């Protein structure tokens, strides 16, 4: 019976606007909670994306790895002959091998050493889809020439700046003299703070303990129009079980799963998101509870007039949803700006994604609605006879 007056009178909006200071505090609190969730989810996504970026830039339709492979941080090798065996299968056009190892890069300015991920490739065959690598790959045909990842940590030195000015840079890798002949952009990850690409011949000189017939990744290129899943099934059935055949995306998935569930990283970011959610609930609850307490006589009057708890709950939920909208917008805008600042400072691939924005928005609505429902307990305990 009260639905028509309710539609005509924006009671929830008027109550929020009556106490503008309280409204500003509530909006700021929700925006802070949303920013906390955005930052946690953004960093989690950025770090995972950075960890699998090398996997997704491999120039291959299928990859061959050791079945025990979990992460590039501790990569396992396998017999190179397994890769050559794939050439006997219908649909396989060419293969190439990758060596992966962790070396010690010497900062050319400070002379301090820092671990760096080293990729050994066949310089006559494409290994990465990165244009910077393809354009400079011929330099790697000569020994002791490398391509340097300009998106790595600054502790490696101002390598990119020096190279761009002089066209050359000499330093040491694993205590051996090397020359930087090109730059590419990959970025730091869980596995390494930076990357270096060199030829397999140079790689084996840098890591003399390594066996030439043992590789970390085999790259398989298929003939045009060939069904990759069909060839993958044939290779899985025909090759010995000491290797695993995957698509580049499947290869990346193993790396991501390792850092997500094999370490505490996923739990830490999930906990941070949950903390932001709880902070938001507490803030909105305090605002709505204070609003109910301050207007308890008015609410009691409404109950005495015949308005039900359901009607009053709708008012509180409306207030909560209005707060959700008003708090989400500045939280979204500020988080978008923080993403840009973080990317410029760290080169991590942290960007605003539609699915993340939708996720945080849904969490904000749930957060505010739940707070409104809790605040309703104060009204249900109020008896009009006790107020008047």
pLDDT tens per residue across span 74-110 = 889 999 999 999 999 999 999 999 999 999 999 999 9
Query: Quick one: the chain helix, strand, coil %, rounded to 5?
Result: 60, 15, 25
In terms of Cα–Cα distance, which of 108, 382, 65 is closest to 219?
65
Q: What's the rounded Cα separation, in Å, for the pair 375 and 369?
A: 10
Kindly state the DSSP code that residue 128 receives in the 8-state scheme.
Answer: B
Considering only CA atoms, give the Rg of the chain. 29
pLDDT tens per residue across span 166-189 = 988 999 999 999 999 999 998 888
Q: What's the rounded Cα separation, in Å, for the pair 331 and 361?
A: 10
Strand-pair category, 145-149 with 92-106: unpaired
Mean predicted confidence (pLDDT) in 129-155: 93
In the block, tokens 């066949």 appear at 122
pLDDT value, residue 173: 97
pLDDT value, residue 383: 59
pLDDT tens per residue across span 329-370 = 999 999 999 998 888 777 778 889 999 999 999 999 999 888
More confident residue, 293 or 186: 186
Task: Say yes or no to pLDDT of 385 above 70.
Answer: no
Q: Is 308 helix (H, G, I), strand (E, B) or coil?
A: coil
Q: What's the rounded Cα separation, in Å, for the pair 187 and 185?
A: 6
CB 222 within 8 A of CB 93: yes
Task: Say yes or no to pLDDT of 4 above 70.
Answer: no
pTM of the model: 0.79
Q: Average pLDDT, whole number, for the chain? A: 87
In terms of Cα–Cα distance, which of 366, 71, 10 is closest to 217?
71
Quote the percentage of the chain above a pLDDT of 90. Answer: 58
Q: What's the rounded Cα separation, in Å, for the pair 168 and 178?
A: 11
Q: How confident is the model at residue 384 (pLDDT cuts 50, 70, 90)?
A: low
DSSP codes, 5-35: HHHHS-HHHHHHHHSHHHHHHHHHHHHHHHH
């Amino acid at each position: 019976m009260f639905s028509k007056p309710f539609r005509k009178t924006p009671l929830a909006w008027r109550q929020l606007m009556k106490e503008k200071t309280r409204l500003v505090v509530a909006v700021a609190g929700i925006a802070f909670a949303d920013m906390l969730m955005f930052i946690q989810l953004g960093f989690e996504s950025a770090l995972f994306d950075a960890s699998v970026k090398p996997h997704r830039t491999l120039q291959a339709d299928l990859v061959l790895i050791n079945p025990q492979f979990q992460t590039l941080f501790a990569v396992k090798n396998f017999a190179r002959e397994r890769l050559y065996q794939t050439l006997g299968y219908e649909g396989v056009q060419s293969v190439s091998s990758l060596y992966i190892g962790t070396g010690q890069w010497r900062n050319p300015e400070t002379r301090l050493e820092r671990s760096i991920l080293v990729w050994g490739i066949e310089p006559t065959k494409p290994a990465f889809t990165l244009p910077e690598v393809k354009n400079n790959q011929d330099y790697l045909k000569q020994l002791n020439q490398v391509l340097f990842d300009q998106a790595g940590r600054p502790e490696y030195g101002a390598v990119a700046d020096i190279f761009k000015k002089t066209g050359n840079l000499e330093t040491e890798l694993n205590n051996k003299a090397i020359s930087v002949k090109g730059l590419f952009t990959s970025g730091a990850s869980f596995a390494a703070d930076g990357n270096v690409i060199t030829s397999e011949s140079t790689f084996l000189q840098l890591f003399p303990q390594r066996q030439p017939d043992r590789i970390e990744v085999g790259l398989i290129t298929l003939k045009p129009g060939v069904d990759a899943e069909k060839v993958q099934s044939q290779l899985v059935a025909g090759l010995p079980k000491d290797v695993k055949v995957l698509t580049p995306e499947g290869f990346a998935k193993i790396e991501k799963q390792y850092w997500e569930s094999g370490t505490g990283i996923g739990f830490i970011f999930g906990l941070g998101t949950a903390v932001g959610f709880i902070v938001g609930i507490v803030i909105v609850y305090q605002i709505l509870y204070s609003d109910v307490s301050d207007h308890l006589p008015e609410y009691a009057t409404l109950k005495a007039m015949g308005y039900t708890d359901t009607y009053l709950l709708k008012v509180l939920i409306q207030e909560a949803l209005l707060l959700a909208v008003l708090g989400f917008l500045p939280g979204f805008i500020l988080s978008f700006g923080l993403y840009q600042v973080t990317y410029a400072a760290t080169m991590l691939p942290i960007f605003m994604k539609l699915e993340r924005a939708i996720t945080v928005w849904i969490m904000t609505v749930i957060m505010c609605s739940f707070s409104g429902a809790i605040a309703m307990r104060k009204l249900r305990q109020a008896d009009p006879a006790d107020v008047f």
